[in-house]
Amino acid sequence: MIPLLLTTALAANAPIRAFCIDFNWGPGGPNGFAKPGLWADVSPADSLAWHAALGANVIQTFAVSCNGYAWYKGGQVPPQPGLRADFLPELVKLAHARDMRVMGYFCVGSNTRWGAEHPDLSYGTPSAPHIPFTTAYLDFLCAEIEESLRLSGMDGFMIDWVWNPTRPVKDGVEQWLPSEQAAYAELMGKPFPGADKLGADDRLAYHRRAIDRCWARIRQTAKQARPDCVIWLSCHSLADPTVAGSPLLREVDWLMNENPNPADLAAARASAGPNTTLVQCLVGWGDAHDAQRVLLSPEYRDLAVYGFAKPGDNGFPLPVADYLAQPIRGFRGNDRNIAVLARWFTGRPIDEPAPLVTQAADGQLALTPDNAKLVGMSPVVMDGQIGHWGNVRDSVTWRLRVDRPGDFDLVLTYAVATGMAGSRFAVLVDERRYEQTAVETGPSWREYRAFGLGRVALAAGEHTVSVVPDPAGPWRAISLKGLVLAAAR
């Protein structure tokens, strides 16, 4: 057995700053999961270096991927084909030398190899929960957990997709495997009545008991193998009736809300145990997560933070230096949120306030992408414009100061590609609204036209100008070049 090292970060109760390069996903498999061995040449040293540069103190990687193959050698679970290094044990040793924790991973409800080898115990092999929690499967899962703890020295592990399977439906009736019907009889103490006769209350009671038994087996196995290991639950629906108020939520060591709304995590506090650490996922669902907004909110600044991202072609996201080299607003989706965490984890500021725009010598105020404040995740500053603006709830704002008051002609410049006209939005100058409907400007999103919106009087002092989509829609985006407030002649 590899001894568990109590790292400095763990002993000091440092805030959790966790990240995962998610080797679950990639091409070539029979479903959405990565084909076995796809990422097998990733170096443990390179993985450590990337996470260290990010500022993470917890590396969440894999004991067994969703494809069913292990990230360690010498066990009963076959390793990822072509696994270059004894990845998990080597990463643990390197990380512990840097006062970092390493957490493995098990997808409880989905394992492609298990499903392919045990068709009588699995609803096929989709990239979705497909495994009933039969005694045979729980024996297999717990053997994986015990083996990985014994061989790797990892500090603990994440359990994901702790859900009952999605069953096929025929003529409006769920089709239950005989093995799951037997599990129902075990847990409910009565025969399975038939899917067409199964009442909603009994169905829910069975689902809860199945999860309770699964959790009890996982916890017993892990704590017997290593009493101080951390069991970490990832859950996207903490209020789901199959887990709400369950022993799983009360007893797990770390409880993570994968859903983008951290309010769901606060609501789950009452269900969590007194020693449970709450963790919020802030990267992984693209634009649905907004790490900057959450971390700038005072009520969430003390959260334990986690993010995950699919690897690029080289097995990693962008180099961390790239995330730090340009403003956060220059990225989109997961990359924008990683850029936030790269700053947050290393003590850098994450707020990028819009600069105060002042008048030029001729009195003009030039509102450009470079001096704009982006509100929301979809607008991105790139190629001298604000684009990729797909979310109707997002907006763009400028702060400006007028030293020479008077009348100003307001001119808006944007592009809309052929076939994408009709977006409704407003330009707001303080409280004054200029309603607009976008028109086509050319065949591409870079064929710009200037539109005069009218004349506005501005007093001396600070003002705000915003471009805000109409929440009632339609909204198909615009490529915004900027606005000019030219002193009227």
What is the band of 1 on the pLDDT scale with cuts at 50, 70, 90? Answer: very low
Q: What pLDDT score does 271 carry?
A: 82
Contact 82, 35 (CB under 8 A): no
Of 55-59, 264-268, 431-435, 485-489, the range with the lowest mean pLDDT is 264-268
The pTM score is 0.85
Q: Which of 422, 424, 430 is nearest to 400 (CA)?
A: 430
What is the band of 330 on the pLDDT scale with cuts at 50, 70, 90? Answer: confident
Q: What percent of the chain has pLDDT over 70?
A: 98
The larger pLDDT score, comparing residue 393 to residue 199, is at: 199
The C-alpha atoms of residue 249 and residue 270 are separated, in whole angstroms, by 10
State which amino acid sits at residue 135: T
Q: What pLDDT score does 299 carry?
A: 84
Burial of residue 415 (CB within 10 Å: 0-12, 13-18, 19+) is buried
SS3 50: helix
Whether the predicted pLDDT of 10 surpasses 90: no
The C-alpha atoms of residue 479 and residue 473 are separated, in whole angstroms, by 17
Instruction: Locate the domains of the chain by residue range.
Output: 8-344, 356-487
Q: 181-220: string of b/e by CB count within 10 Å (b at 16+)?
A: bbbbeebeeeebeebeebeeeeeeebbbbbbbbbbebbbe
Nearest 10 degrees: Cα torsion 169, 170, 173, 177 = -70
Mean pLDDT of 163-185: 97
pLDDT, mean over the chain = 94
Q: 283-294: string of b/e by CB count within 10 Å (b at 16+)?
A: bbbbbebbbbbb
What is the band of 12 on the pLDDT scale with cuts at 50, 70, 90? Answer: very low
The C-alpha atoms of residue 247 and residue 440 are separated, in whole angstroms, by 57
Q: Are strands 479-487 and 406-415 parallel, antiparallel or unpaired?
A: antiparallel
Which superfamily is assigned to 8-344 in CATH?
Answer: Glycosidases (3.20.20.80)
Q: 78-98, pLDDT tens digit by residue?
A: 999 999 999 999 999 999 999
Mean pLDDT of 310-337: 94
Mean pLDDT of 62-74: 98
Whether the predicted pLDDT of 198 surpasses 70: yes
Q: What pLDDT score does 291 carry?
A: 94
Asked whether the CA dihedral 196, 201, 203, 206 is positive or negative, the reply is: negative
Calculate the alpha carbon distances from 250 to 39, 83, 254, 432, 446 in Å: 35, 37, 10, 52, 54
Whether the predicted pLDDT of 20 surpasses 70: yes
What is the band of 8 on the pLDDT scale with cuts at 50, 70, 90? Answer: very low
What is the band of 2 on the pLDDT scale with cuts at 50, 70, 90? Answer: very low
Q: What pLDDT score does 354 carry?
A: 81
- Would you say domain 356-487 falls under CATH 2.60.120.260? yes
The C-alpha atoms of residue 71 and residue 90 are separated, in whole angstroms, by 10
Whether the predicted pLDDT of 68 surpasses 80: yes
DSSP H or E run through 204: helix 200-225
Question: CB under 8 Å to 304, separation ≥6 — which residues?
Answer: 15, 16, 17, 18, 254, 277, 278, 279, 280
Mean pLDDT of 163-179: 97
Question: CB under 8 Å to 192, separation ≥6 — which residues?
Answer: 176, 181, 182, 184, 185, 198
Task: Pull the structure tokens for residue 286.
Answer: 């693209």
Mean pLDDT of 381-409: 93
What is the band of 9 on the pLDDT scale with cuts at 50, 70, 90? Answer: very low
Mean pLDDT of 432-439: 97
Q: Which of 233, 54, 258 is nearest to 156 (CA)?
A: 233
DSSP classification of residue 125: -
Q: What pLDDT score does 378 carry?
A: 85
What is the band of 209 on the pLDDT scale with cuts at 50, 70, 90? Answer: very high
